[in-house]
Each structure stands twice: as C-alpha cells, then as structure tokens.
Amino acid sequence: MKWCNVHKSGWMLALVLVCGLAESVRAQGAETSTTSMTRTQTIERFKVPEFDVNGVKKSEIFGERAVIPPDGKVKITGLKIFLFSQGEIETTISAAECTFDRAQKLAFSNGGVTIERGKMRVTGKGFRWASENQHIEILNSVRVVLQGMPVWQKKEKQ
C-alpha cells in the first residue's frame, strides 16, 4: 500500500497531481487514457501536505482515488482533509467524493460531508472548502452534535 507524498509549500493537490503522478502511475499501475491532445490520469491512495510560509504544516489531504482530467477539476473519492494547529490535528473533514479545482484551490461537492473538531461533529450535504484560508461552508441539511457538552441546564425548583 503506497501513498504518494509531496513536501512543497503552496500548491497542495496541484503538486502531487503533477510531480507525484509519474511515480504513482508507474508504481501502482494506475489507469491512463489518452485521446488526441487530452490525457486523463488516475492516482490511488495519495496524501498531500500543505505548509504555510514558515514551513508549518497547515493541512493534509488524503484520498483513495483521484481522476485528473486536462481541465484541472480533479475528481477525488475517499477524501479526508486534516487541518492542523500548532502541529496537532485540530479538525478532520471527510467526504465520499468531491471535486478539487486546482486553479482556484477549492474543493466542493453536493454529497455528504462530516467535520469533526474536538467534541463537536457537524454533518451535512454539499460543501465548499478553500485551501488558501482553510474556510469550509456546508450548504444543506446541517446537523451539529456536541458530545459531552450540556446544551441547557435544568433549573432547580425554588
């Protein structure tokens, strides 16, 4: 089970899909289809860290499979995004599938998404995530579960 890995700042998924592609395709026997002047490539089981300007890891994307068409809109299945704070995973974003637009550095999907942070779990349908500022927006059917945190307290009788 080999994972692709790129240690470069800034380009996140774009770098793994370009720089790590040749090694991944050769090592994993990934599919490649070529038609006149267009090429679609597939990478399986990859991870891509992203670092800030000071070299501190701010996120890491894992995927079971990425299909990379020439238009730059990568189809990812089995997505997990880890967001870091002070070297520790602070938030986890999971989705069965999404599209990553390499030009805009945005991930989006109409499917289900789960966000976990500490004792909070948020689920919903459809999301947009911007890698530049680590902003995520859940679009529909949002549900928030706070584990072990009282939402209201019983008033004592006087």
Pick the more confident residue, 83 or 6: 83
Indicate the residue type of 6.
V
- Domain covering 12-146 in this structure, CATH number: 2.60.450.10
Residue 7 clears pLDDT 70, i.e. is over it: no
Give pLDDT, residue 72.
80
Domain map (residue ranges) of the chain: 12-146
Distance (Å, whole) CA 137 – CA 108: 9
Is the whole model's pTM more than 0.85, yes or no?
no
Q: What is the pLDDT averaged over residues 82-94? A: 92
Q: How many CB atoms lie within 10 A of CB 10?
A: 13
Average pLDDT, the chain: 77
Lowest-pLDDT range, 17-21, 35-39, 43-47? 17-21
Distance (Å, whole) CA 133 – CA 94: 18
